[in-house]
Amino acid sequence: MATKKGVEVSIGIGDAVKLANADVVAAYPITPQTHIVEHLAELVAEGELDAAFIPVESEHSAMSACLGSAATGARTFTATAGQGLELMHEVLYVASAMRLPIVMAVANRALSAPLSVWGDHSDVMAVRDTGWIQIFTENGQEVIDNVLCAFRVAEDRQVLLPVMIHLDGFHLSHMIETILFPEQSEVDQFLPPNQYPFPLDPSKPVTMGDFSPPVLYTEARWAQEVNLRASKEVVLQVWKEFGAKFGRNYSPVECYKCENRKVLLLTMGSFTETAMTAIDELEKQGRTDVGLVHLRLWRPFPFEELRQAVKDADVLIVLDRALSYGGPGGPVCSEVKSALYNLKKKPKVVSFVGGMGGRDITVAGFETIVNRGIEIAQKGSEQEFEIFGVRE
Amino acid sequence: MEKYGVYIPRLVTKKEPFAPGHRACIGCGEALAVRLVCKALGNNVIIANATGCMEIVSSQVPYTSWNVPWIHTLFENTAAVASGIEAALNVLTRKGVRQASDTKVVAMAGDGGTSDIGLQALSGAMERGHNFLYVCFDNEAYMNTGIQRSSSTPFGAATTTSPVGKVSTGQFTWKKNMPAIAAAHNIPYVATACHSYPFDLMQKVKKAVAVKGPAYLHVLSVCPTGWRCPTELTVRIGRLAVETGIFPLYEIENGSYKLSYNRPQLRPVNDYLKLQGRFRHLSEDMINMIQERVTADYARIKERVAQTQEKKPAVIDKPMEKVS
Amino acid sequence: MANKKPDKKTEAEMTWKDLEVGLIATEPGSARQYKTGAWRSQRPTYEFSKCIKCGLCSIFCPEGCISQNEQGCFEADMYYCKGCGICDKECPTRVITMVEEEE
């Protein structure tokens, strides 16, 4: 029987890692991820989680210790946010290229300067190309469920890639929600023990981390790309199994009142729920032409699912929570545009950037975005993107 | 010191865990040092290696010179990777996933990867008390990238980033005292060694491996390419470094200093300096400066030896029986 | 000492499918097939009558390619010997002399 608990999402993550019976946690504290790490330290200290908790001296070392741990065949977990994610940037590429299964929860936080501990997606967008499987979550239940799925996906013999679970800093990490925690026996059935195929072991010595001259580098990169793309199948399959077992279904791109609606909003993360409320409000006002599409699987990018979801719309308004300076503005929007470019029939895509550094967007704000988005789609705009909520 | 019978080399294992066929320079002292360390380590180890000469010459895809499990990731995180491996081994053994064995985690890095960019990770790992051996192979510059200075480059040495010119006379700072930094972390075992004293080196490796907790070994590795000296003098120059007191061989065991090699009369530093092209620009004044400092530093070591002989209880952070 | 299998692909022939997961090298010591002997410009020559079989040269060889021959004297493997000359300098009984490599 699943246990229903009212917990802060960060604490819930620690509990999920405990259910997953992780072996090693190497983490460094940074707002707003600290509660995740603190609770894990508590669980280990109380003997409730039989794991090594390594209080490393920086995020770079946190991810590095995770490399060593995963390479030895241990189930490895860490968490970070914002600047921490940036500090471990080079190590992220290594983790995915060396095919080490590591699960990391990222409490998405704005990047300095100016210093901001509050939530946005600038840290996520900075690590797009690192080769990790990346999943956005919208509420506490999704976070817990996807942490469990993440271990399963990462350690799958066909995948062997690290996974990031993104949750909005403060807006999700610090929310107290009612979450259903599966029973230990159910999790044990769903999540087999880690059987990393090439652990560092004197009885069967392997060499990891060879350098590659130009003659083989392209082949190495292509092998990694092929495998990252192929991991989508495993993600879908694991989600399907999770749905069958626990009754909660996830998919790469989800639709909220989007069928046959000509104007679509696209969001990721916790804003999705506010957007859903906005869609409902608009409906009440008689606006039945507006729907919502929300992105859950960020990497590998779900090209087919996205195209399928939006191809019949006239307008697609993408809300980014990060800003790519001097470029297309909204990173997700630019990827969406690129995904739709070759379609014969496609919506006009409008880019909005807002909610940065922890700034909230209310239901009314979303209604404004929708209306302005429609206007831009009709009349065009001189700007590449629209910045929402700036006081001018 | 080396009161060895002339046949002791015959007692050393004939196995070459660091396989020939590696691409180190002709006469490479670091390759020699790694080879000797690997002989002393045996098979029951896992090595975490930093980016550097030894990593590059031994691991070009798809080949490897290593006969033990070996992982290279980045330049500055060797001690952190080693921490992760050590923790994982403990947990997996405790959970019964792995069979209990005394597999030792060994971190290997160059001087740049230790005293500069890798210092943070090393300090963290030592402070946390992981059971591992850290070996720094010190060839006194960033050799793999083309002889740039590091904080381990000795005073006056010419490198590409501390070149000799109209307004410069080479490296302008004194070599960073890494063994002292390691000892300041109150770890059970710190030692210096050199490939020119192979049995001392191998003995120290074995001692360090037997320690429960962090151990640090600093190995001087002569680099003919970077030091601008003939390839056949690698071993001889290493010997001179010790005989002149420039690189004293000593151990700090639970806080007690012990000289491994004590000459009543140190050779003049110029015996060592004159054989190397990187020092050929040194003026007599600079050589005297170096001589004074070396003499003073050596005296300080001997003082420490005397002080710690007085059997005062040493402050050593013994690793507690942690859950991990 | 050459272990090169004739049917093994060279690096330039390998496809992305030939690469192991994460580029892991699963054959320990596979670098043994690389002929570093081709590097040398001088080679050791021996007067084995002087050899006392102490083994110091084999300890000090950076390549680790010196081992005992049938007579029990220590001799370098020319497949690997890079001709550094350390053995010449360290031999206590002056068995070894480095001469210019002619090959």
Give the model confidence (pLDDT) of A262-275 as tens digits: 999 999 999 999 99
The domain in which residue B228 lies consists of 15-309
In terms of pLDDT, which residue wins out, B11 or B261? B261
Residue A84, CB-side half-sphere exposure with 13 Å CA sphere: 29
Q: Are B66 and A209 in contact (CB under 8 A)?
A: no
- Residue B296 inside a domain? The answer is yes
Contacts of A198 in chain C (CB under 8 A): 21-22, 24, 26
- What average pLDDT score do residues B207-235 get? 97
Helix (H), strand (E) at residue A162 = none
CB contact under 8 A, C36 and B230: no
Q: B interface mutation test: which of A54, A91, A100, A219 has the most B CBs within 10 A?
A: A54
> Band of the pLDDT at B6, cuts 50, 70, 90?
low
The amino acid present at C62, given as its one-letter code, is P
pLDDT of residue B144: 95
pLDDT tens digit sequence for A48-107: 999 999 999 999 999 999 999 999 999 999 999 999 999 999 999 999 999 999 999 999
Give yes or no on whether A3-246 and A253-387 have one common fold.
yes
For chain C, list residues with pLDDT below 50.
1-6
Running DSSP on this structure, what letter comes out for residue B213? S
Specify if B316 maps to a domain.
no
Q: Global pTM?
A: 0.95
Note the pLDDT of residue B295: 97
**B91 neighbors B114 (Cβ within 8 angstroms):** no
Does the domain at residues A253-387 carry the CATH identifier 3.40.50.920? Answer: yes
Nearest by CB to residue B69, choosing from A24, A98, A200, is A200
| Interval B181-186 mean pLDDT | 96
Q: Could you give all domains of chain C from N- to C-terminal order, each with its CATH number?
A: 48-103 (3.30.70.20)
Give the type of residue at A88.
M
Q: Could you tell me where the beta strands, DSSP code E, fall in A21-67?
A: 24-26, 52-54
Question: Residues of B numbered 279-308 whose beta carbons fall under 8 angstroms of chain A's beta carbons: which are they?
Answer: none
Find, in chain C, the residue whose alpha carbon is nearest to that of A101: C22
Q: Mark yes or no for CB contact A223/C12 under 8 Å.
A: no
Above pLDDT 90, what percent of chain B?
Answer: 88
What pLDDT is stored for residue B5 in this prediction? 52
Which residues, 6 or more positions from B17, have their beta carbon under 8 angstroms from its beta carbon?
A: B38, B39, B41, B42, B43, B66, B67, B68
Q: Is A26 helix (H, G, I), strand (E, B) or coil?
A: strand
Question: Hey, which chains touch A, using 3+ CB pairs under 8 Å?
Answer: B, C
State the DSSP H helix or E strand holding residue A349, giving kind and residue range, or none if neither: strand A348-353
The answer to whether residue B10 sits within a structural domain is no
Per-residue pLDDT for A32 more than 70? yes
pLDDT value of position A366: 97
CATH number where B87 lies: 3.40.50.970
Q: Which of B225-239, B301-315, C83-97 has the lowest mean pLDDT?
A: B301-315
> B279 in a domain, yes or no?
yes
ipTM of the complex: 0.96
Q: Which residues, 6+ apart, have CB-to-CB distance to A305 below 8 Å?
A: A251, A252, A253, A297
pLDDT at B9: 73
* Confidence bin at B320 (pLDDT 50/70/90): low
Euclidean distance between CA atoms B322 and B130, whole angstroms? 10
How many structural domains compose chain B? 1
From residue B174, give the alpha-carbon distance in Å to each of A136, B250, B286, B301. Answer: 51, 19, 12, 16
Dihedral angle at the C-alpha atoms of B275, B280, B283, B286, nearest 10 degrees? -70
**Coil/strand/helix, residue C82:** coil
What is the crossing angle of helices A34-45 and A9-19, to 10°? 40
User: In the predicted model, is pLDDT for residue B234 greater than 50?
Assistant: yes
Mean pLDDT for chain A overall: 97
Contact B20 C53 (CB under 8 A): no
Contact B95/C at CB under 8 A: no
Closest CA of chain A from C81, distance in Å = 24
Interface membership of C14 toward A (CB under 8 Å): yes
**Chain B partners of C30 at a C-beta cutoff of 8 Å?**
62-64
- Considering the domain A3-246, what is its CATH architecture? 3-Layer(aba) Sandwich (3.40)
Residue with tokens 């729907």: A291
Q: Spell out the residues 6+ positions from residue A186 whose beta carbon is closer than 8 angstroms to its own.
A: A2, A245, A246
Query: Is B145's pLDDT higher than 90?
Result: yes
B150 at interface of A, judged by CB pairs closer than 8 A: no
What's the CA gap between B227 and B221, in Å, rounded?
11
Say what the pLDDT of residue C6 is: 46
User: Looking at the DSSP assignment, which residues form a beta bridge with residue C44?
Assistant: C98
Predicted confidence (pLDDT) per residue in A192-250, tens digit: 999 999 999 999 999 999 999 999 999 999 999 999 999 999 999 999 999 999 999 99
User: Does residue B3 fall inside a structural domain?
Assistant: no
pLDDT at B148: 97
Pair C33, C3: CB distance under 8 Å:
yes
Q: Which chain C residues are within 8 Å of A207, Cβ to Cβ?
A: 24-25, 28
Model confidence at B3: pLDDT above 80: no
For chain B, give the mean pLDDT. 93
pLDDT score recorded for residue C1: 38
Per-residue confidence (pLDDT) for residue A1, from 0 to 100:
81
pLDDT attached to residue B264: 84
Residue B7 lies in a domain: no
What angle (nearest 5°) sits at the alpha carbon of residue A225, between those of residues A219 and A230?
A: 125
Label residue B7 by pLDDT band (50, 70, 90). low
Q: Where are the beta strands (DSSP E) in chain C?
A: 42-46, 66-68, 74-76, 96-100
CB C84 to CB B234 under 8 A?
yes
Tell me the residues of chain B between 233 and 292 that have a Cβ less than 8 Å away from chain C: 233-236
Give a yes or no: residue B124 inside a domain: yes
* Neighbour-count burial for A231-240, b at 16+ CB within 10 Å, e otherwise: bbebbbebbe
What are the residue ranges spanned by the domains of chain A? 3-246, 253-387
Tokens 């021959």 locate to C69
Mean pLDDT of B253-263: 92
Residue B6 lies in a domain: no
